[in-house]
Chain A
């Protein structure tokens, strides 16, 4: 079934996207390979924080330049992504650390597998793994927002070259406003869809509201969703600045 669906996906992407669709498939494969190697290296005890930097830069490079070519749009988006991620790394670190939302959550700990079968003496700092998770979930959305904004501004600019920087900024904010709402909702739905099982499980466990609000199983996913949304918001003005600097 998975092979069947994969074939359909590849077929559709190439049918609809043509040559550039094939590029998208290659990019996707590249990102999966990066994730694969990251997981391999991390589970072999490679320092995780260093890996965030290397793998993050690799993902940006592949998603932007390999997929969409080297042009003002992608250069601006690359710059914007890097700036935003550097800006947000420290808050993400602090929040993940102070709120202790790393490692296994309460529900996973109480599963039989982890209680009896698995050894948890990994000698891998789970705090750093938790940061890796948050940064990488955010990264995809930030790249997407940055590229959407720069690509739309660029597209408007090619239709009418005479627009001033101020008009382009306004146009960029207009596009930014419309995509931010849906990006935030994309993240919300990606979270909600996965939680039906979680919530029906919680219902059988009779937790009080206080425990749920302060629990790790809620916080770790909601925090990923919210920090993704915050990162996308900050990306809009940053990437407008970057694209205008690139084309003028």
Chain B
């Protein structure tokens, strides 16, 4: 039995490696011209005074690259590239990088569009899937299914949105679908699942009501500074959807953790009293509440750091950025944190009730 599992792991590792290798040399399937950089010579062209009085150096790279696909396959091409020592807008390329060129396959252009990143994407995604199955076994498989299903549901919802349907309705439907698929995939059809689905939906309803209420009280946010706003008109609705989806995962996380822990305690010690159970559930809740809020803080705040640095070096003060550039990020963070906090009492009570009452009946029957 054990050797069988080992064989499976080797098989998976093999598939993973083949998959990554394939994405590294799939250039023949590309319609965009690709090239591999063979040699790079660079020289400093000028230095300019940057912000804070320091020197910023500009470099020009002369790159010789070998074309990987199309009729010109195998030919050498020279492109030039400029970069600065901070690499804010420009990139330094290295020997061995595979890059996408501008132009078409028939006549490759002389500029580099971007690095070929699909190999790294495959490396990370494949690594995640491989580790999921290695560490959590069958559960990992279900997690992968839930990830794929959620992405598909999201894609469908997005498709419906671009066809012009109301994003709020779509969002309500897919939020319910998300929580059902995720929790059933993760826990199977089980009492734990029902308690977590129930708690998740209750909490979701509560925070969206709170959001509506605070908009009603204090007026809508100004969405004109939202990133990637582009041409979409209904930014308020999109932001609503954004808030709902962003927090869903975190809320499910809290409800599942609490119901799982409550279930585990009942399994190990079926004679535990209801009061003790609620006490334990709350204890776990307190332990995870702070860290969950911190997870959200770091996930949401880290991405903004480059922006902060850039703007603060352009004489925009920290306070100005916080007040005028990121109020929606703060608002989103606060709403999700409130959701996490509310999820604790709601799921402790629902989980304890659902876990305890049937098992007590069973005890009487036995």
Q: Which of A68, A118, A222 contacts B290 (CB 8 A)?
A: A68
Contacting residues, chain A, for B269 (C-beta < 8 A): 159-160
Contacting residues, chain B, for A178 (C-beta < 8 A): 139, 186-187, 256-257, 260
Stretch from B6-14, B70-78, B239-247 at the A interface:
B239-247
Contacting residues, chain B, for A70 (C-beta < 8 A): none
By the criterion CB–CB under 8 Å, are A182 and B290 in contact? no
Chain A contacts with B in 192-225, Cβ cutoff 8 A: 192-194, 196-201, 203-204, 208, 210-211, 213-216, 219, 221-224
By the criterion CB–CB under 8 Å, are B87 and A230 in contact? no
Contacting residues, chain B, for A42 (C-beta < 8 A): 305, 309
8 shortest A-B CB distances, which residue pairs? A189-B249, A193-B246, A140-B298, A121-B50, A186-B249, A24-B290, A121-B56, A193-B245
Given A179-B256, A185-B150, A193-B243, A141 contacting B54 (CB threshold 8 A): no
By the criterion CB–CB under 8 Å, are A95 and B120 in contact? yes
Q: Which of B52, B117, B292, B311 contacts A101 (CB 8 A)?
A: B117
By the criterion CB–CB under 8 Å, are B318 and A40 in contact? yes
Contacting residues, chain B, for A134 (C-beta < 8 A): 302
A166 contacts the other chain (CB 8 A) = no
By the criterion CB–CB under 8 Å, are B287 and A68 in contact? yes
By the criterion CB–CB under 8 Å, are A192 and B253 in contact? no
| Most chain A Cβ neighbours within 10 Å, of B137, B217, B283 | B283
In angstroms, how far is the closest chain A Cβ from the Cβ of B226? 7
Given A24-B293, A151-B284, A4 contacting B100 (CB threshold 8 A): no
CB nearest to A229 among chain B residues: B128
* Complexed CA–CA distance, A203 and B185 (Å): 31
A226 contacts the other chain (CB 8 A) = yes
* Complexed CA–CA distance, A39 and B317 (Å): 12
Can you give 24 contacting A-B residue pairs, CB < 8 Å?
A1-B214, A4-B218, A5-B214, A12-B341, A67-B291, A100-B117, A118-B311, A120-B86, A122-B313, A126-B87, A137-B302, A140-B297, A144-B294, A147-B291, A174-B264, A177-B136, A179-B256, A193-B245, A193-B246, A196-B161, A197-B228, A211-B114, A213-B117, A226-B127
In angstroms, how far is the closest chain A Cβ from the Cβ of B172? 15
Given A123-B52, A148-B287, A226-B128, A43 contacting B309 (CB threshold 8 A): yes
* Complexed CA–CA distance, A67 and B312 (Å): 31
By the criterion CB–CB under 8 Å, are A137 and B245 in contact? no
Given A9-B338, A230-B127, A100 contacting B264 (CB threshold 8 A): no
By the criterion CB–CB under 8 Å, are B55 and A123 in contact? yes
* Complexed CA–CA distance, A1 and B328 (Å): 10
Q: Which of B91, B151, B253, B331 contacts A186 (CB 8 A)?
A: B253
By the criterion CB–CB under 8 Å, are B265 and A159 in contact? yes
CB nearest to B215 among chain A residues: A1
Residues of A whose CB lies within 8 Å of any CB of B are: 1-2, 4-6, 8-9, 12-13, 16-17, 20-21, 23-24, 27-28, 31-32, 35-36, 38-40, 42-45, 59, 63, 67-68, 73, 95, 98-104, 106-109, 114, 117-127, 129-130, 132-134, 136-137, 139-141, 143-144, 147-148, 151-152, 155-156, 159-160, 163, 171, 173-190, 192-194, 196-201, 203-204, 208, 210-211, 213-216, 219, 221-224, 226-230, 233-234, 236-237
Given A144-B294, A200-B232, A181 contacting B186 (CB threshold 8 A): yes
B16 contacts the other chain (CB 8 A) = no
B219 contacts the other chain (CB 8 A) = yes
| Most chain B Cβ neighbours within 10 Å, of A36, A175, A184, A227 | A184
Q: Which of A31, A104, A173, A182 contacts B256 (CB 8 A)?
A: A182
Residues of B whose CB lies within 8 Å of any CB of A are: 30-32, 48-52, 54-56, 84-91, 93-94, 97, 100, 113-118, 120-121, 123-125, 127-128, 131-132, 135-137, 139-140, 142-143, 146-147, 150-151, 154, 158, 161-162, 178, 182, 185-187, 210, 214-215, 217-219, 221, 226-232, 235, 238, 241-250, 252-253, 256-257, 260-261, 264-265, 268-269, 272, 280, 283-284, 286-303, 305-306, 308-314, 318, 327, 330-331, 334-335, 337-338, 341-342, 344-345
Given A5-B335, A186-B249, A44 contacting B50 (CB threshold 8 A): no
Q: Which of A148, A181, A208, A237 contacts B185 (CB 8 A)?
A: A181
* Complexed CA–CA distance, A95 and B113 (Å): 19
By the criterion CB–CB under 8 Å, are B228 and A45 in contact? no
* Complexed CA–CA distance, A43 and B321 (Å): 14
By the criterion CB–CB under 8 Å, are B242 and A159 in contact? no
Given A9-B337, A121-B84, A144-B292, A137 contacting B131 (CB threshold 8 A): no
By the criterion CB–CB under 8 Å, are B54 and A21 in contact? no
Q: Which of B55, B120, B283 contacts A98 (CB 8 A)?
A: B120
By the criterion CB–CB under 8 Å, are A219 and B242 in contact? no
* Complexed CA–CA distance, A230 and B232 (Å): 35
Contacting residues, chain B, for A151 (C-beta < 8 A): 284, 287-288
Contacting residues, chain A, for B288 (C-beta < 8 A): 144, 147-148, 151
Contacting residues, chain B, for A99 (C-beta < 8 A): 115, 117, 120
